[in-house]
Amino acid sequence: MADKKMVEAIASMEEDFAQWYTDVVKKAELIDYTSVKGCMVIKPAGYAIWELIQQQLDARFKEAGVQNVYLPMFIPESLLQKEKDHVEGFAPEVAWVTHGGLQPLQERLCVRPTSETLFCDFYKNDIHSYRDLPKVYNQWCSVVRWEKETRPFLRSREFLWQEGHTAHATAQEAQERTIQMLNVYADFCEQVLAIPVIKGQKTDKEKFAGAVATYTVEALMHDGKALQSGTSHNFGDGFARAFEIQYADRDNTLKYVHQTSWGMSTRLIGAIIMVHGDNEGLVLPPKVASVQVCIVPIQQKKEGVLEKAYELRDRLKGSFRVKVDDTDKTPGFKFAEAEMRGYPIRMEIGPKDMEAGKCVICRRDTGEKLEVALDQLEEKVGELLETIQKEMLERARAHRDAHTYEARNFDEFQKIFAEKTGFVKAMWCGDQACEDLIKEKMSVTSRCMPFAQEHLSDTCVCCGKPAKKMVYWGKAY
């Protein structure tokens, strides 16, 4: 049968998670590969997820007083080089434009890998007085990083993202904005993507090139690996000093601004796949499903069935995103396709249902089937979508908690990572040498120093010296 064939084409996630992931992105028609190495086409089903992410994240930004702008995609080499740590972090992985039209350029331009330097160059001219502050700007754009190994959504040479860049009069205000935006990200992940996250600070080793402090939201994928899902950086006045961004304060003295930046990207689509997906394919949280209800007519050639399907769609479409699969495929194939694409609800309507004044509704996330009276349809669909959204978050949280471990000494630490993949909480002395050793021995990295600190022991899990912080460790994408 056609439906079987479609499902058999996917690897089992338990047997080969990487292959399963690749199969899902292809079979759910999220992306396609291109002739441009390391770059992908985001197909309609994939881009629709991104549009729903954009809309809902942008609405949260606007509530937080963020204004959107657009800056050039090119950065002159001299501008990229102004902040020392920053250029060291990014120069090895940028694409260089050397010719415009038929002429060589006097100065080569890189395609932005991130836009701190451009925002600084802009702010330098735009900020004069305390009245011009704060600046709380964001742009939606694509960026380029010349990665060697690429994977759809997770790591590609070009990806879509938003990057917020702010400038403030005081260090305190910059710090507050850094945390405010991290909280927006955490709330967005949990409430919209149904992905629970750990909020915390990156160690110095893992922080952003040029930042004083980097904060992160870290999620755990189904295979137990971690995914950094959004970051928020406090730059202090380091960039301001490098770019001479000063303002005249109320007391008429010149002061440096304090800056932040924060970003989330199409990598979130990878997170959705790897947190919620199963062996039938993609499972979309209702809030980012471009089709929330897929109506499959049964015996659609019988009189009145298709008409009934369209009538139900028209009833639902004011409140939900809904489509009728009226193609000439078999119902079995349509079921498998709706499952592969992750539509939260499948609705079946056929002659018998019509006679009984009901339809059959099937949840993608649990497979559960319900009969619903047609006169209660809107209400039941609305309730069910809310339930699905809520339970997907709860299941993801339970999975994460079940894959979060504690280590009190090096032996325990090694034993856990030898046997399991997940988050391991362990105490750390604050010394980068221990981070390096842990990475060397176990191929894991510090994911973050969580805001919710616990005291697991007095000593560093690695060196035994007095511990300063509890850290989440894990294998990361």
Closest to its own copies by CB, 267 or 447: 267
Among 15, 63, 99, 318, binds its own copies (CB under 8 A): 99
Helical axes 432-442 vs 410-419, angle rounded to 10°: 40
Residue 144 binds to its own copies (criterion: CB under 8 A): yes
Instruction: Tell me the window of 70-78, 369-377, 379-387, 458-466 that interacts with its own copies (CB under 8 A).
Output: 70-78
Residues 222, 229: Cα–Cα separation, whole Å: 15
465 phi/psi in degrees, rounded to 5: -70, 170
Residue 98 binds to its own copies (criterion: CB under 8 A): yes
Among 61, 122, 153, 320, binds its own copies (CB under 8 A): 122
Among 65, 100, 304, 367, binds its own copies (CB under 8 A): 100
What residues are paired with 258 via a beta bridge?
168
307 Cα distance to chain centroid = 39
Residues 253, 129: Cα–Cα separation, whole Å: 10
* Angle, CA of 156, 157 and 161, to the nearest 5°: 75
Instruction: Tell me the window of 65-73, 197-205, 251-259, 305-313 that interacts with its own copies (CB under 8 A).
Output: 65-73
Shortest Cβ 303–its own copies spacing (Å): 26
Closest to its own copies by CB, 32 or 401: 32
**HSE-CB for 147 with a 13 A CA cutoff:** 17
Residues 472, 218: Cα–Cα separation, whole Å: 9
Residue 73 binds to its own copies (criterion: CB under 8 A): yes
Residue 253 binds to its own copies (criterion: CB under 8 A): no
Among 142, 183, 404, 409, binds its own copies (CB under 8 A): 142
What residues are paired with 217 via a beta bridge?
199, 230
Instruction: Tell me the window of 97-105, 268-276, 281-289, 354-362 that interacts with its own copies (CB under 8 A).
Output: 97-105
Residues across the chain: 477
Q: Which whole-number Å values give the CA distances from 302 to 183, 298, 308, 309, 445, in the listed order?
A: 53, 9, 11, 12, 60
CA 314, 316, 317, 319 torsion: positive or negative?
positive
Shortest Cβ 93–its own copies spacing (Å): 5
Shortest Cβ 245–its own copies spacing (Å): 14
Fill in the amino acid letter for 427. Answer: M
Among 15, 63, 102, 454, binds its own copies (CB under 8 A): 102
Q: List residues near its own copies by CB under 8 A.
A: 32, 34-36, 39-44, 47-48, 50-51, 67-76, 79, 92-102, 109, 111, 118, 121-122, 125-126, 137, 141-142, 144, 146, 157-158, 160
